[in-house]
Amino acid sequence: MTTPQSRAAIYARVSSQQQADANTIASQVEALRERVRADGLKLDSEFCFLDEGHSGATLLRPALERLRDQTAAGVLDRLYVHSPDRLARSYAYQVLLLEEFRRGGIEVVFLNRPIGRSPEEDLLLQVQGMMAEYERAKIAERSRRGKRHAARGGSVNVLSGAPYGYRYVGKLASGGKARYELHDEHAAVVRQIFNWIGVDGDSIGDVCRRLQERKVPSSKGKTFWDRKTVWGILRNPAYVGRAEFGKTRVGPARPKIRPQRGRPTHGRRTGSTDETAAEERVSIPVPAIVEEAVFAAVAEQLRANRKRRRESQRGAKYLLQGLVACGGCGYAYYGKPLSRSSRKGKTRHYAYYRCIGTDAYRFGGQRVCKNKQCRTDMLDKAVWDDVCALLADPDRVKREYETRRSQKRLKGTRPSDQVGKLIAQVRRGIARLIDAYEEGLLDKDEFEPRVKEARSRLARLQGEAEKATKRESEEAELTAAIGQLEGFAARVQSGLQTADWKARREILRALVKRVEVGTDAVKVVYKVDPRPFDQGPERGSSQDCGRSDLTAVG
């Protein structure tokens, strides 16, 4: 039952960034606010959950995450949504969210239809959810076919934007058909970049330094140029008059070794971008900036630079590539071979792991980290020896697990079933308070503080219940993982010392989550997968197990 004191919330969503920029979400918000006022409820600004530019095909949305947190805390009574497809485009996600809101005691109101008053209405909601999912697939397919047809007709509207060196002219300004026209100043920079590579034989790093010396601003107005930006310019066929549509496609998300610095584990996108084959692309004629011969010379020079610098062999040289991170700034370490000047005529069979934050050219000429680099041979050997020691004594993980478990018991944590009984008691108490208030046995001044305190306690217990459930699930998974680790260690124990580079890399990626290099020590953080190698090193749930620090490798 909803009273004027009930706390209401609204949720609205638009899919594309273009819709967000056009502020089309405002119409949804206004309709929702009007309905809340019509129902005689008050809407606080903190309970307006808006996702602008987020797809309904995923649950990883910032505002939706906050809404679900408030639902778990039990602070809301009614939620207003414009339509089911604004909540989620997938029928399965709709059912999951509605069930979650129902368990939290929240009444969900859709503006376009009622919910849950009869079996027929429930059936209509289910059909509407499946139709929304079908509609999303059809919209994506129609959009793809329409863009491809327009690209074959020579329209540049289907491209994401004009590259550096061009200016986009819209339909209204160009008499009904959009086009690219040359930006003279930027086009001169592009020609100079191609000449430096194709004629002078410079590297991409040399080009970035020369542009910075000449104080040429980048396409985004920065005072320095990223190598990736220059690399993209040199590979773009639009500069020889052939802008290509369909160069990439979105496929299933690829597993990541670890999230990038300062970024969440799960990004906004639900898939990974891959390049398409050349025959699948559609060429659109645009004004050329460089000649075909220069473009081909640049491509050949880039191949020669890559061969000379042996960049293609880096993945086969650095055992811990992708696992090493800086303990100070958080940036990744990468493998850097010795230059000829540093060898002094001697043959050295090692390189260095270097922190990205120490590369001044990446940050406009100023370092952001002072951490030292590490010799690859010494760090690889130290980490591998530590992994071998762990596999030789898998009971070490079990002892660590028992230590943590005993520490949690000392903190007085309660099991999930005991917390569940307390939650049920608090909910019954809240229901009795509401009944007493409705029957006039309690005054408003006495009812409000008591129910507020009860709801606060309920929120704390629900948080404790989630932690207890998660803890018990982790304990069950870790118990299974320990048994799997013992079996895995027994299988590979005899071949550890004779394992080749590829086998060592697979073992390291299966067991090591990251290697943190500090100023005076190296920390190895392990992950224990319940199914080692069954679904790949990066999949499955994992538990962090920090090992004792190794001596710093200089």
6 is written with which tokens?
């009930």
State yes or no: pLDDT of 1 exceeds 80.
no
Please write the tens of the pLDDT for every residue from 490-510. Answer: 666 667 777 888 888 888 887
Which range is least confidently modeled, 94-103, 326-335, 540-549? 540-549
The C-alpha atoms of residue 188 and residue 201 are separated, in whole angstroms, by 18
Report how many domains make up the chain: 3
Say if residue 410's pLDDT is above 60: no
Domain closes at, from 128, 148, 168:
148
Residue given tokens 């040429």 in the structure block: 216
Residue 507 lies in a domain: yes
Tell me whether residue 109 is in a domain: yes
Residue type, 221: G
Within this chain, do residues 394 and 541 fall inside the same structural domain, yes or no? yes
- CATH at residue 88: 3.40.50.1390
* Domain hosting residue 88, numbered range: 8-148
Residue type, 550: L
Give pLDDT tens digits for 375-406: 888 999 999 888 888 887 777 766 766 776 66
Residues 28 and 104 in one domain: yes
436 and 409 in one domain? yes
pLDDT category at 191 given cuts 50, 70, 90 is very high
195 and 88 share one domain:
no
Helix (H, G, I), strand (E, B) or coil at 552: coil
Question: What b/e sequence results for 484-515 when a residue is b if at least 16 CB atoms lie within 10 Å of its CB, and e otherwise?
Answer: bbeebbeeeeeebeeeeeeebbebbbbbbbbb
| Alpha helices, H only, 74-161 | 84-87, 91-103, 119-152
Same-domain pairing of 399 and 545: yes
pLDDT digits (tens, 9 = 90+) for 418-443: 777 888 888 888 888 887 877 777 78
What are the DSSP E strand ranges found in 253-379?
Answer: 271-275, 282-285, 324-326, 333-336, 352-355, 374-375
Residues paired with 352 in a beta bridge = 336, 375
pLDDT at res. 540: 36
CB 216 within 8 Å of CB 260:
no
Confidence of residue 533 (pLDDT cuts 50, 70, 90): very low
Q: Are 17 and 161 contained in the same domain?
A: no
pLDDT at res. 160? 74
Percent of the chain having pLDDT more than 70?
A: 73
User: How many CA atoms within 13 Å lie on the side-chain side of 451?
Assistant: 20
Q: Quick one: pLDDT at residue 18?
A: 56
Question: Residue 498's pLDDT is what?
Answer: 77
pLDDT tens by residue, 246-290: 888 777 777 666 666 766 655 556 677 778 888 888 888 999 999
Q: Is residue 341 part of a domain?
A: no
Task: Specify if 162 maps to a domain.
Answer: yes
pLDDT at 185: 92
Dist. CA 407–CA 404, nearest whole Å: 5
Residue 484 pLDDT class (50, 70, 90 cuts) = low
Judge if 175 and 213 occupy the same domain: yes
DSSP E strands: which ranges in 297-399?
A: 324-326, 333-336, 352-355, 374-375
Token duo for residue 78: 């009614």
- Judge contact between 47 and 10, C-beta under 8 A: yes
Residue 21 has pLDDT above 60, yes or no: no
Q: Are 441 and 481 in a shared domain? A: yes
Say if residue 401 is in the same domain as residue 494. yes
For residue 162, give the CATH number of its domain.
Answer: 3.90.1750.20
Residues 25 and 132 both lie in one domain: yes
Average pLDDT over the chain, rounded to whole? 78
Report pLDDT digits (tens) over 299-357.
888 887 776 654 444 444 688 888 899 988 888 898 887 655 555 556 667 788 999 99
Residue 336 lies in a domain: no
The pLDDT of residue 49: 92
The rounded distance, in Å, linking the Cα atoms of 108 and 130 is: 19
Are 430 and 455 within 8 A, CB to CB?
A: yes
Same domain, yes or no: 135 and 181: no
- The H or E element that residue 78 is part of is strand 78-81
- The answer to whether residue 331 sits within a structural domain is no
Is 66 inside a domain boundary? yes
Q: Do 224 and 113 reside in the same domain of the chain?
A: no
